[in-house]
Amino acid sequence: MMMNARATYLDASIATASPARLLVMLYERLVLDVQRGLDAQEQGRVEETHRQLTHAQDIVMELHSSLRTDGFKGAGELAALYGYLHQQLVLANMRKDVGITRECLRIVTDLCDTWRQAALESTMAKGA
């Protein structure tokens, strides 16, 4: 019963979220996946590491494929960063390299913070 209520709430949250909020939610999930992957790596839980880091790779590919490179200045650089991040997540997973995973976590956390701030500023500008 509790899981159904949670699923219904999450579905409603996603369905009613603005595009900016959806982007932030996707980044937040990316950070969570990489953090969980890092935790699993540090604990030697290979299958969990693989599951979390491959999900993170999927999110990065979704972000990359939905990026409109003509949409804003710097989009080309962001596309290149997504390519690099995807490559590093694959390497971190294949090599079981905690250092690479930590670097990826730093990058995705910075990206998440940046997009969260941009979404907040956009919301505030619309309300003014």
pLDDT recorded at residue 43: 97
Q: What is the pTM of this model?
A: 0.84
DSSP secondary-structure letter at 71?
A: S
Q: Output 5 or 50, whichever has higher pLDDT.
A: 50
Give the Cα separation of 101 and 33 in Å (integer): 11
pLDDT recorded at residue 120: 84
The CATH number for 18-127, chosen from 1.10.630.10, 1.20.120.340, 2.60.40.420, 1.10.268.10, is 1.20.120.340
Whether residue 2 has pLDDT greater than 70: no
Tell me, rounded to whole angstroms, the distance of Cα 74 from its chain centroid: 19
18 pLDDT band, cuts 50/70/90, is confident
Residue 8 to residues 1, 3, 11, 24, 82, Cα–Cα distance (Å) = 11, 9, 5, 20, 31
62 pLDDT band, cuts 50/70/90, is very high
Give the Cα separation of 32 and 40 in Å (integer): 12
Burial class of residue 26, CB neighbours in 10 A (0-12, 13-18, 19+): middle
Alpha helices in 2-97 (DSSP H): 2-16, 19-42, 46-66, 75-95
pLDDT recorded at residue 32: 98
Q: Report domain extents, the chain.
A: 18-127
Once rounded to an integer, what is the mean pLDDT over residues 70-80? 88
pLDDT in tens, 78-120: 999 999 999 999 999 999 999 999 999 999 999 999 999 988 8
Q: 111: how many CB neighbours lie within 10 A of its CB?
A: 19
Whether residue 49 has pLDDT greater than 90: yes
